[in-house]
Each structure stands twice: as structure tokens, then as C-alpha cells.
Chain A
Amino acid sequence: MTLDETTLTTALHDLAGTVPDNPARLSHVHHLARRRHRRNRAIGAGALAATMAAAVVGAEALASGGGRPAPAIRPASGGPGAPAPAPANGASATAAPANGAPAGALPACPAAPPQPNNRDVAPPSIGQQFTGGGTVTAPGTASGIAVHVDGGPMLGSDLTLTIGPASKVFVDEHPATGTQVQKGERVKFSATVVATASYLLDELHAGTPSAVQTPKQGASGGPAQPAVGDGFKVTGQATGLTGTTITVDVQGGSLPPGPVTFTLECRPAGSVVGKTVSVAGTRTGASAYDAFAVVVQAS
């Protein structure tokens, strides 16, 4: 075969035309997206809960520093207007918020994420499996991957996950080896504690969060929305509440200003309509958002 530009173009089209199309591609793409979405939600919930807990603690500190009277849900034993420590489990059960939220915190969802703060979670014991998310701190090797954990029960730890014969490593959803995991990549993983400070990797998914730039927003000039599967946090005025949704006129945070309806993953205690609220959750679609936490801000 000799090559000039015309024959090359023809030959390339001829070669490309031999590839059979896959009629099931669309369903495979949706399946892949759902799997990625579920994984992101499962791992992201821990980090989100920690963020919300920090926000609640910050709001509480601000409220008590300002000398405002304690909100009505504060346990009566603390005295009028006096900042009171959070009730211990079982103490003042009738006065404490039903879901055990910190006193002074705004009404929390009864079905909020299981732990308000990952640091409160006991580290897994030997033989126990756990999940987490974090950042790779050194190039992976065939025998292990070093990760700084920022989500899950080992939050804040630097772990080396040992790769065993049954360990599975994926990079961008494709099977890979430990050596293909690079420093700085985001990972989500499950592992088993095999001994003190020894963790056997069960499965790890790695990928660069922003390998491809998001195109610029339109003329609205609002903040760039988080990608589907990513978390968000906004503040605004609650304008409507149903059994499954809350509508908020968003005024700040990681979503563009304006009314947004969130699907409730938890039920805010008390009345929130007309109040300024913070909502945190996950974007699940083009204009679909799940709210894992709804917190009324101190007025």
C-alpha cells in the first residue's frame, strides 16, 4: 500500500468502517453511570456528614458567642440562656432532640446520615471490613497503595493498603494494577483490617476528579454546579415543604441562586418554611438533588 493523502483518507474510512456497532451501548452507559453514582454517594456520605457536623458546630459556637438565648430545643437543665453541653446519651431523654443532635443545633433530620462526625466512629477492629475515600500520597506499587483518608471511619489517617491476590484495583473503571495508581489521585476503597495498622485491600477505584475541564457556564454567570454525584451545600430561604421535598430559594453556596427543589433524604424536625436553611446533599441529575441534611440557621 502506498500512501498519499487521498488514499490515506479513504483507507482510514475503510478501516474504521469495519468496526461493528454495539446496539446495547446506551444501556451500558446508563448502567455505568448508575454504578458510579451509587459508589460516589456511598463514599461521599461520610465526608458530607463531617462537613455538616462542622457547620453545625460552627453555627452553635457563633450562637453561644453572640449571647443569644438558647433555642427552645436546648435541654431545660442548662438554665435560661446558658450554653449547655450536649446531653449524654440517655440523659435528659425527654428534653433532648429526638435524634440526638447536639443541643443548640438546629433541627436535624431523624434519618440523617448515621454519624454526625466520622471522628466519632470507632475505628474498625481486626477482621472487620471498612470503606473510605481519600488521596493517594505516593505512587502505587505492586504490593500496596498509600492513601490519606478523608472519608469513612478512618478519617484523617494515612494508611497503606496492602494488595493481595484477591484485591481488585480499578483506574477509571477499568481493571488495573497498583503501579498504575498515581500520586494525587482520588480513590475510594474497601479494605479489611488484618492486624494492627495492617489493611488488606479488597477493592479500590482510582481516578482524577477533573481530567477533563467542565465547559464554562452560560451567560447566567452563576457558580459552576457540582457534577452529578458530587456534593453541594447551599443556604437560602425555605419556601415549601412536602413529605418528600423541600423547596429553597437558594441565595448562596454551590448552586446558582433561585428556587431549587430538593428530594429529602431526611425529614427536618419542626417547621422550616420561611426560615433560612442550610441544605447539604448530592446532585443526582441535571436538575435533581438529594438533601441529606437540612439545618435551620440562627436568625
Chain B
Amino acid sequence: MVLSTDLPRIAGPYHFDTYVHERSAALLRLAFLLTGDTHTAEDLVQSSLVKVMGRWDSITAGGDPHAYVRAVLLHTALRWRKRRWSGERPSEVLPERADEADGAGAVVARERLRRALQALPPRQRAAVVLRHYEDLTEADAARALGCSVGTVKSQTARGLERLRALLDDDNGRNP
């Protein structure tokens, strides 16, 4: 009897391992913007990769798998968000500043943006990130999110408006 305990490495035009080496850092950055937390982002990326791993051949048969993997990550993030990331604890006080060499202003600005992003509803955040970080067209963002172009437009507009308001508020309190 042969008992295989290891999954064979996935073969295909674009090897799964190669994809992870080359593109998973980009997925991690996207996941970080969606979750606001490094460890959760890493979990999200790994879970998404495990989900696509078993279907890698059919995914790569359609061409570049990145759009598909990104869509899996987005949907996983939105689903997780509903279930377990509802307990965020926004802090009134900014975390300790990083070393001055980094530029304290830049560190503070990044942290304000991270908090403001996390304050957006998940779909608005995803729309803003896809349009302004991933630089997707409205049609591509709609495809990734599984919604209409009109929804992407409205979610992005509302997200930007809310983000603006949050950052303005933050500026008022922490000039």
C-alpha cells in the first residue's frame, strides 16, 4: 500500500511555488491595506494561497493567475471581516513614534492613514484600495469584487469622501 502524505508540487505553465516567490509579497501589501494588521494580512495571504493551490492548473490555464488569486484574497478578507475582525480597537492615541531618522511626520501620517482606512466599511475600503493602490480600472475592480461598475464608482466615491473627513478630523485633533 502506498500512503502519500505529501501533496505533490503543482505543475503548470506558471508553477505555484514560483508564483508565491514572485507575487505573494504584493498580495501581502494588498492584504495589509485591507486588514490594517501585519499578522492578519499574512494569515489572509496564506489562507488565500492554500485555497487556490488545489486548483492551480485550471487557474493558470486561463492565463496570469494573479487577478484570480487577488479576487480570492478580497473575498476571503470580506468574509473574514464580517466574522472576526469586528473587534477592532481604534486607539485615541497614536502609537509611539518611530526613530527620528525615518521622519516622525511620515510615520505619523502613515499611521493616520492606516487608521482612517480601517475606519471605512470593508467594501468601501476594498474599492478605494483597488482603484487607488492596485490602480485597477472601474471594470477590473468590479470584476474583482464581483459587483457592478456603478457599485464600484459609488463605493469609491463614498470611501474617498469618508477618508477625507476622517483625515481632516485627525488633522484637527493632532495637528
A285 touches B167 (CB 8 A): no
A81 to B168, CA, bound (A): 89
Closest to B36 in A: A15
Q: Which residues from chain B sit less than 8 Å from chain A, CB to CB?
A: 1-8, 10-12, 17, 20-21, 24-25, 28-30, 32-33, 38, 41-43, 45-47, 49-51, 53-59, 61-62, 68, 71-72, 75-76, 79-80, 83-84, 106, 109-110, 112-114, 117, 128-129, 132-133, 135, 160, 163-164, 167-168, 170-171
- Among all A-B residue pairs, the 4 with the closest Cβ atoms: A228-B54, A16-B29, A285-B8, A12-B133
* Residue from A11, A14, A30, A215 within 8 A of B55 (CB atoms): A215
Closest to A171 in B: B83
Q: How far is the CA of A103 from the CA of B64 in the complex (A)?
A: 53
- Give the contact stretch, choosing among A124-132, A155-163, A261-269, A272-280: A261-269
A289 to chain B, nearest CB (A): 10
Nearest chain A CB to B35 CB, angstrom units:
10
| Cβ contact of B83, chosen from A12, A180, A216, A287, cutoff 8 A | A180
A176 and B2 form a contact (CB under 8 A): no
Tell me whether B132 and A12 are in contact (CB under 8 A): yes
CA distance A225 to B62 in the complex (A): 16
Q: Which of B8, B25, B33, B46 is the one whose CB lies under 8 Å from A29?
A: B46
Q: Does the CB pair B110–A229 fall under 8 Å? A: no
Does A285 contact B25, Cβ atoms closer than 8 Å?
A: no
Q: Is the CB of A284 within 8 A of B58?
A: no
CB-contacts of A23-57 with B (<8 A): 25-26, 28-30, 32-34, 36-38
**Contact, CB under 8 Å: B2 / A265:** yes
Task: Pick from B8, B83, B114, B129: contact of A176, CB below 8 A.
Answer: B83
Over the window 1-16 of chain A, the binary record of Cβ atoms lying under 8 Å from chain B Cβ atoms (1 yes, 0 no) is 1110100110111111
Contact present for B113 and A25 (CB under 8 Å): no
Q: Give the CA-CA distance A14 to B11 in the complex, in Å.
A: 35
Take A5-B132, A214-B55, A284-B4 as given contacts and tell me if A12 and B79 are in contact as well, using a CB distance cutoff of 8 Å. no
Cβ-neighbour of A9 out of B3, B58, B133 (below 8 A): B133
Q: Are A211 and B76 in contact (CB under 8 A)?
A: yes
Q: How far is the CB of A137 from chain B (nearest CB, A)?
A: 19
Assuming A19-B28, A26-B24, what are 19 further A-B pairs, CB within 8 angstroms? A1-B109, A11-B110, A15-B33, A25-B24, A25-B28, A25-B42, A25-B45, A26-B20, A26-B21, A32-B50, A34-B5, A111-B1, A172-B76, A174-B80, A216-B62, A218-B58, A265-B2, A266-B1, A284-B4
Please determine whether A3 and B28 come into contact, CB atoms closer than 8 angstroms: no
The reply to whether B84 and A34 form a contact with Cβ atoms under 8 Å apart is no
Q: Within 8 Å CB of A111, what residues of B?
A: 1
- Bound Cα distance A8, B43 (Å): 26
User: Are A215 and B109 neighbours in the complex by a CB distance under 8 Å?
Assistant: no
Residues of chain A within 8 A of B24, CB atoms compared: 25-26
- How many residue pairs, one in A and one in B, have C-beta atoms under 8 Å apart? 161
Q: Is the CB–CB distance between B43 and A22 below 8 Å?
A: no
Q: Are B20 and A25 in contact (CB under 8 A)?
A: yes
Which A201-231 residues have a C-beta within 8 angstroms of B?
A: 211-212, 214-218, 225, 227-229
14 of the cross-chain contacts (CB-CB < 8 Å) are: A3-B163, A3-B164, A12-B33, A14-B110, A16-B33, A18-B110, A21-B25, A174-B43, A180-B84, A211-B51, A215-B62, A227-B54, A284-B8, A286-B8
A230 CB → nearest B CB, Å: 8
Q: Which residues of B contact A263 (CB under 8 A)?
A: 2, 4
Which residues from B are CB-within-8-Å of A176?
83-84
Q: Hey, which chain B residues are within 8 Å of A5, CB to CB?
A: 132, 160
A41 to chain B, nearest CB (A): 10
Give the residues in chain A near B50, CB-CB below 8 Å. Answer: 29, 32-33, 36, 173
Q: B129: which A residues are within 8 A, CB to CB?
A: 12
- What per-residue 1/0 map shows which CB atoms of A97-112 lie under 8 Å from chain B? 0000000000000010
Contacts of A211 in B (CB 8 A): 51, 75-76, 79
- Determine whether the beta carbon of A228 is less than 8 Å from that of B114: no
Q: Are A12 and B113 within 8 A (Cβ)?
A: yes
Question: Does A89 sit within 8 A of B, measured CB to CB?
Answer: no
From the candidates A13, A19, A29, A290, name the one contacting B133 in the complex (CB within 8 A): A13
